[in-house]
Homo-oligomer: A and B are copies of this chain.
């Protein structure tokens, strides 16, 4: 008969097998906040709608209406996502009459994009 009361008391920690390795890696780890920012940045890239928007803006400056038509989505949905992209400083915008044009903030987007494509296409 199997033991039924194993259940680790390991919650939040456990025995360290290689203390030296852990200590060494801990020293080399970037600041906690840097890693959080990094995860937040990639989180923005981690949605297909936002990826498609960025991919489109990589080719041309576009207004909300056009992006919505291109992706077959509502202006509202696009606008919500553009807000996220604005807050992450990935896109910038300019107003011309009633129309708001969006474009990429800098060239980092392209390079990050390309690196991702390299991995995706094995």
Contact = CB atoms under 8 A, between A and B. Distances in A.
Interface of A: 8, 10-18, 21-22, 24-26, 28-30, 34-48, 50-52, 55-56, 59-60, 62-63, 65-66, 68-70, 72-76, 99, 106, 108, 111-113, 115-121
27 contacts: A8-B74, A10-B75, A12-B72, A13-B73, A15-B69, A16-B65, A18-B63, A18-B66, A21-B60, A21-B62, A24-B60, A25-B62, A25-B70, A28-B59, A29-B56, A29-B59, A29-B70, A35-B52, A38-B45, A39-B45, A39-B51, A42-B43, A42-B116, A43-B43, A45-B46, A106-B119, A112-B115
Given A24-B59, A72-B13, A108 B115 contact: yes
Contacts of A76: 8
